[in-house]
Amino acid sequence: MKITLLLLTLLVSGVAFAAGGSGPSSLIPPAINVLLLLSLLVYFLRKPAKNFFQSKSETVSEMLERASSKAKEAQAMMDAQMQKAKNAEGEIQKLEKENEQLIAQFMEDYKKDVEQRIVKMKEDAGQKIEAEKKEMLNELNSNLLDLVISKTKQEIRSSNDLTQNAAKNMVKGL
């Protein structure tokens, strides 16, 4: 390749010096010079240009891959949000049913608790009434007994026969 370029350069320079006039043939040396320049540029810049364009294409490819993955992620997130939005009505209804069940259970438990308290209060009130009744009966019996004893004492004191009989009975008991 180098030899070919060298020969072309030598041949072209001879033709360039031989030309003396103007005309279409006067354009050949500049064309050859341009061709030589372009061929040298292509020869020396081919690898750097190739590397440059390959790196650019790799960069663009990576950017496209990242954009594609981001687009897929965004689509997945959007689908998930859409699914949540669709399921929101069902979730709301489910929560409402759960709340209604909790309220019904609370009401039932509260009624049972109130009924148990009422029963206990009735039992306590009945026991209290019985205790007060028993206390009043005991007090009444005590008062009645005291009254009978005091009347008996009075009668024994008022009658001499009874006093003597009572004294005899006491002496016998000793």
> Angle 41-47-51 (CA atoms, 0-180°, nearest 5)?
130
Q: What is the pLDDT of residue 105?
A: 96
Tell me how far apart the alpha carbons of residues 129 and 135 are, in angstroms, rounded to a whole number: 10
- Are 40 and 12 contacting, i.e. CB atoms less than 8 angstroms apart? no
Contacts 24+ apart (CB under 8 A), 67-75: none
The torsion angles phi and psi of 125, rounded to 5 degrees, stand at -65, -45
**Residue 22 binned pLDDT confidence (cut-offs 50, 70, 90):** low
Q: Please say if the pLDDT value at position 21 is more than 80.
A: no
Q: What is the pLDDT of residue 29?
A: 84
Tell me how far apart the alpha carbons of residues 9 and 36 are, in angstroms, rounded to a whole number: 8
> Angle 132-134-136 (CA atoms, 0-180°, nearest 5)?
65
Tell me how far apart the alpha carbons of residues 16 and 25 are, in angstroms, rounded to a whole number: 10
Q: What is the mean pLDDT of the segment spanning 14-18?
A: 55
Percentage of residues in the chain having pLDDT higher than 70: 89
Tell me how far apart the alpha carbons of residues 147 and 99 are, in angstroms, rounded to a whole number: 70
**Mean of the per-residue pLDDT values for the chain?**
86
Q: What is the pLDDT of residue 156?
A: 74
Instruction: Write down the pTM of the prediction.
Output: 0.37
Contacts 24+ apart (CB under 8 A), 113-120: none
Which residue has 């030589």 as its token pair?
36
Q: Please say if the pLDDT value at position 98 is more than 90.
A: yes
Q: Which has more confidence, 151 or 157?
A: 151
Q: Please say if the pLDDT value at position 128 is more than 70.
A: yes
Q: What is the pLDDT of residue 3?
A: 78
- Are 37 and 54 contacting, i.e. CB atoms less than 8 angstroms apart? no
Q: What is the pLDDT of residue 13?
A: 61
